[in-house]
Amino acid sequence: MSYFRATDPFPLESAEHTKLHEFYARLAAGRLATTRCAGCKRLAWPPRAFCGECGSDAFDWVDLSGEGTIHAFTIQEVGLPDGFAGPRVFAIVKIDGLRVFSILVDAEPAKVAIGQAVRVSPLRVADDPNGNARWLPAFRPA
């Protein structure tokens, strides 16, 4: 493992670094996706390369609806990682029966509320060492 990887807070998203590279490709296209076990059909979050229910490593990719509601949230004003301006809203979003922990962007912290409608809005973060764009799942008020 290189020194850069040890200090890089973002995942390496290419097929040579992760079996779940399809997640990042879909996220770059503006779609939030996850895996569904090909055996027992269980939907997983976060996406997994194997099923925690039946142990199968066969899975299909499923695009989520892109629309959800805030289940819970917190506002962080200090101690944010480099490149993230505060205050930052972190939320657990209910989407298609799953609960996704994510950043809420373009939201006024004082106006965020449980039950509020949100939509997927992938967040571009620092490019990888080769200059390829990288993305993290994020939501914004609907």
* Domain chopping of the chain, boundaries: 3-141
Indicate whether 1 pLDDT > 50. no
Query: For 67-71, what is the mean pLDDT?
Result: 98
Q: Between vectors from CA 71 to CA 68 and to CA 77, what angle results, nearest 5°? A: 105
Rounded to the nearest integer, the mean pLDDT of the chain is: 88
Residue 101, both tokens: 């922990």
Confidence of residue 8 (pLDDT cuts 50, 70, 90): low
Q: How far apart are CA 56 and CA 68, in angstroms?
A: 28
Nearest to 73 by CA among 52, 56, 94: 94
Residue 2's contacts (CB-CB under 8 Å, 6 or more residues apart) are none
Range 108-132 average pLDDT: 92
The answer on pLDDT for 20 being more than 90 is no
- Binning pLDDT at 50, 70 and 90, where does residue 97 land? very high
For residue 76, the tally of other CB atoms under 10 A from its CB is: 14
**Confidence at residue 5, expressed as pLDDT on a 0 to 100 scale:** 44
Residue 5 has φ and ψ, to the nearest 5°, of -65, -35
